[in-house]
Every structure is written in structure tokens, then in C-alpha cells.
Amino acid sequence: MSAMINVKSANWHFTSACNYNCSFCCMQKLTGELRSYEKACYVLEHLVRLGIEKINFVGGEPMCSSLIYDVVAAAKKMGLVVSITTNGSLLDENALNRLSAHVDWIGLSVDSASDLVEKTLGRGDGTHVRHAIEVARIVHELGMKLKINTTVTKLTFQEDLSELIRALDPHRWKVFQFLHVKGQNDHAVIPLAITRDEFQEFKIRHNDILLRTGDLPVFESADLMRDSYLMIAPSGNIFQNTQYPFREYPIDTVSTGLLEQILNIRNYASRGAVYAW
């Protein structure tokens, strides 16, 4: 299977800063900060060299970075499909208007229909769900595409999110099983980790929800996620998240052939990483 044909998307964790404290997060000990616009352009140029078509800015919380607006503009100018995955707390109408000229997708992280549960998980102060619904409304009005990311944990696997998803009305819904990354979120395993059967229970409850595109939700087990994302550290290096400390590869030394060794190409393809974005 050719990496050049199949690896078309990357996640850039370009800041470790975050204003939330999500207990299940598998990037809790991510360190570093993108320090310059010039470095950002250098990294983006190498991603284009590697055949990347879609860049997803993540964190941490990407909106905590003062460079976010300039970097997404640079990515768009290079011809990339641009996505931001965010908790949404720092997004308002003004911020979304600024982003809309350069950003194709806004990914909102929403894990429960209950503001109380979200607060218990570390997502905000008890207004996360209500704010996400308002952000989703503005995203739709501005003509950007909306993706919802949901991590299923012990606190939420018995929930029915059908009504919430209808209210958010996303173009894409990605549902993840709690992922344990050694050294990152060890403390959350006992209270929050779920079994395959529990994840399957959540999947069966939501599997037939039709999104605004007519597509179905995408479900990713912990096993499927591991090593199936091309991830960039704040430093600009490609890294693996099998365990912490992460192993990093300087991006200017990485070839498309090396991507086959860094990534689990089979899982990358199996989870539908390349879609009609």
C-alpha cells in the first residue's frame, strides 16, 4: 500500500496550551509552542512535499495560540484543505468570521449532552454544550463545514446523543473510544476507560443517525486509532503517540516511504482517513 497515495491528511498539535482540563486527554503532557510564522510555513511546505492535502490544527487548544489566524491563512494559500479541532470555548462570531476566509472545517469536541457531565470530565465550567450549539449555528451560517468529535468514556457510553447531534447538525461525526496513552492519561484509565463491548453498545445506539450530508457517523476503536494518524508536534517534528515520551522525526528528514514505518497504513485506510473533504 503506497503512503504517497494514501496518506493525505495530518494533525498538527502546534500548541500545548489549553484552557480546559479534560481528564481523558491523551495529549496532557504535550510540551512546546510554535514560536514563529516562518517555522510554520517551513513545516507546511514539507507537508505539501509529503503529499498532504488536508491539515487539521489541534492542540492543546489551537485557539490559545496567537499565531492561529496567520498560520491557517498560510496553509490555505498553499492549497491545503484547512481544519481546526477545538473545544470551541474561545470561538465567538468575531473569531469565526476571521477564520472563515481560510478555514474549511471547524471540528468541535463534544462528549456528552449534559453540561454537568462535560464539567465533570474537565470540559469547561458547565456551559460547554450550550456554547457548542451556538458555535455550530454560526459555523453553518458562515458556510464552513462542521465536524463533531466525541470521546466515549465510562461516564457517557450509556448516553443517547441523537437529539444533540440533530441540534448540532454536523457534516461529519467522529466517535472515539477512550484511548489510553501510557504516560499521558494513566490516571483516567480506571474511572473512564471502556471495553470494546461498551463502545459497541454506544455504536449500536447511534450507528444509523443520518448526518446533513446523508453520511453515517464514523466510529474509531482505541486499537484502530493507535498509530493511524500523521501527527506533528509543536516543534514541527512528526511524532508517534504509542507511549510517552514521544518518538519524534524531524520533518525535513521524512520521506513518503518513511511514513509507512511511522504510521499504521492499514489502520489509516480502515478508519476512513481520506474522505470527501
Residue with cell 458555535: 135
Question: Which of the four pLDDT bands, split at 50, 70 and 90, describes residue 264?
Answer: confident
Alpha helices in the chain (DSSP H): 3-6, 37-49, 68-77, 93-100, 115-121, 128-142, 162-168, 189-192, 196-206, 222-225, 256-262, 265-270
pLDDT of 66 strictly over 90: yes
The model's confidence at residue 272, banded by pLDDT at 50, 70 and 90, is confident
Q: At the fourth CATH level, which superfamily is domain 9-271?
A: Aldolase class I (3.20.20.70)
State the DSSP code for 272. T
Q: pLDDT tens, 117-164? A: 999 999 999 999 999 999 999 999 999 999 999 999 999 999 999 999
Q: Give the type of residue at 116.
A: L
pTM of the model: 0.94
| Residue 227, pLDDT score | 85
In this structure, are residues 99 and 140 in contact, taking their beta carbons and an 8 Å threshold? no
